[in-house]
Amino acid sequence: CRLFCKPSALAQHLVRSLGRSLVLWGGCWLWPNWPQVQMLWQLLQLPKPEPAVAREFLQLRDAGLVALDWLLGPRRAGSDSGSGGLSLVLLLIPNAAGKVTGGLLQLGLQALERGFVPVIFNRRGHNGCPLTTPCLQPFGDPGDLREVVTYLHCRHPAVPLVAVSEGSGSGLLLAYLGESGSSSRLAAAACISPIFRGRDWFEARMPWLYEWPLLLHLKQGLSRYAGSLAKVVDVDRLLGSRSLRELEEALFCRTKSRPASWEAYWERNEPLRDADEAAVPLLCLCSADDPVRGPVGCSLPLELFRSSPYFFLLLTSRGGHCGFPQRGPGHSWAHEAVLEFFGAMVEFLQAEDRRKGLPQLR
C-alpha cells in the first residue's frame, strides 16, 4: 500500500495507527490478478446468515421518504470501537444504484462486533423504500443525506458519527463533505473504491459485466413507479436505456418540467466540485487494477491528496473494485482498514480536544 497525503500531525498519527495494523501486512486471496472475479464475488456473495435489520423511514422536507436500516446482532463481550470505549454511529452508503452488496453488509457486521452502531442509508425508491414523490436523488446532490445526518446527530447527540461509502455511492459522500465544510457533523469519513469524476465515468462507460447488472437493477426498481414518474420523465426512454448514462440523462436532464443539458447537470453534481471546502478527515481506498473506476492517471485526483490536509489516499496495486480480498473469498482487508481509520481519527480528535481544554463527549 502507498499512502498519498499532505504531511501533518494528523497524517503522522494515521501512519502510526495503520502501521500497527496487521491487516495491511497479511496474505491475499488466491486470485489476486482477477479483478473481474473479485468484483462479481463482492456483488453476489452475501453473508451467511444475512444480518437482521430494523427499518426506519425518515420523511424529508418535500414529503419524500428515505429508509434507514439499523443492523442488529450480537456484539463481542467487552467490545468497543477502538476509540477509548466510545461507540460510534456508522452510516453505510451503498453504490449509486442502491445495491446493498455483501461487502457492505460484511463491513456493517464487523463494525457491529466492534461496538459501532451501523445503519444503512437507502435513497428514495431504492431497496424497497417507497417513492412518495416523483423525484429521485441525482448523482451528486447531498440534500437528502444532509437531512439524514442531521437526524442521526439529533438521535445520538453525544456519539461521534462517521460515514463510509462504496463505489459510485462515494459521489454522494464526497459532494456532501465539500458542500458542508466544517458543518458536516461527521467526525471522519471513508470511501471504498470511489468514483471521483462523475461525468468522465458515465461517458467512458464500465465493463458490461458491471454495467448491465446495475442497469437492470435500477430499471427493475424504477418500473414499479412508472405511473408516477410518467408525469415528469419519458418512461419509455427511461426503461429503454442501454447504458447508465442514457438512464441518468432520461431521469435528470430530459425532464418534462425543467430540462437541462448534460453539461449543466454535472456542474451541479460533480463529486469534487467543492472539495477544497471539505474539513473532515477522509480515507479513500483505491486499487490500481480497478476495472470500474478506470486508469489511475485520469481517474485519481492525486494532486488533491497532496494539497489537502484532510484527504488521504491508500493505493494498492491489486484489489479490484471494492474487493481487496484477504484470507479467502468474502473477506476484505479494506473493512479492517476503514474501522482502524475511524478509531484513529476519533482518538486523535479527542487528544486535540484535551490539549485545547475542550469538554469531552460522554
Which residues are catalytically annotated?
Answer: 290, 321
Task: Tell me the CA end-to-end span of the chain in Å, nearest whole number.
Answer: 36
How many helices (H) and strands (E) the chain has is answered by 14, 9
Helix (H) or strand (E) holding 47: none
Instruction: Report the DSSP pairing between strands 117-122 and 65-72.
Output: antiparallel
DSSP calls for 251-320: HHTS-SSS---HHHHHHHH-TTTTGGG--S-EEEEEETT-TTT--HHHH--HHHHHH-SSEEEEEES--T
Cell 431497496 found at: 127
Are the C-beta atoms of 291 and 39 separated by less than 8 Å?
Answer: yes
Helix (H) or strand (E) holding 196: none
Strands in the chain per DSSP E: 2-4, 52-59, 65-72, 89-93, 117-122, 161-166, 188-192, 282-287, 311-316
Cβ(166)–Cβ(193) below 8 Å: yes
Task: Name residue 180's amino acid.
Answer: S
C-alpha to C-alpha distance for 129 and 59, rounded to whole angstroms: 11
223: left (phi over 0), alpha (psi -120 to 50) or beta: alpha
Q: Regarding beta strands 161-166 and 282-287, do their DSSP bridges make them parallel or antiparallel, or are they unpaired?
A: unpaired
* 281/182 Cα distance (integer angstroms): 11
Cα separation, 21 vs 184, whole angstroms: 28
Contacts with 273 (C-beta within 8 Å, 6 or more apart), sequence order = 140, 175, 178, 267
